[in-house]
Amino acid sequence: LNPLFQAMESEISAAFGSGEPEDILSRAFKLTVTREDICTLQPLGWLNDRIMNFYMGLLVERSKKEGYPAVYAFNTFFYSKLSSTSHRGVKKWTKGVDIFEHDVILVPIHLRIHWTLLVVDLREKTIKYFDSLGQKGDHICKTVLKYLEEESREKRNIELTASEWTLHSMGTEEIPQQSNGSDCGVFVCKFADFISRDKPIIFTPEHMPYFRRKMVWEIIHQQLL
């Protein structure tokens, strides 16, 4: 192993290792990440909202660089609020932001004990649903399209034409599927990572242990490798 890689490995192990659960290991995007949060990235850990939202923050930050699509990410509480209250309950969430000025909108979704991802591509007028357990999310796509129609009407006074949009739940043959009951959060983060670089999704379940360790380093250093 080269020295740099060894240094990174020992840092990752230290983050999992000794210390108090409430130790703060990273702070950005109005979020603090503790050792307890980081420990959800250990093998077979279930990622929590803080880790998911922090990682989405890193993706948005990277998208400000030259050569990347402009990305907007909603936080993990957005969809549950939207589905229970409609546009009315979340219209303040985009105060001072025109989401339609972006290329890609990421919506991480927490379904009680499972993470999934919805992606709006404003360039292509598509809404796609990514689930590493192969469930369909057509109703989720429709809920978000309705939200976009109301958001556009209210914020920009522009009517979206729903018939111009393509809604699609990704099939099990189109995207990789998890091989255990605990990697869904990592899958969502990596789906979002590849999509926010306009890259084809080519990873496999075998990459998950590596992705988990890489994410520890990225969150602690607030930079994507």
Residues involved in catalysis: 114, 131, 184
Tokens standing for residue 94: 């985009």
Q: Which of 188, 82, 193 is nearest to 129 (CA)?
A: 188
Which stretches of 2-137 are DSSP H helices? 3-16, 35-38, 49-62, 78-85, 87-90
Q: What separation in angstroms does the CA of 77 have from each of 90, 131, 136, 146?
A: 10, 18, 20, 18
Q: Do 188 and 49 contact (CB within 8 A), yes or no?
A: no
Provide the β-strand partners of residue 31.
28
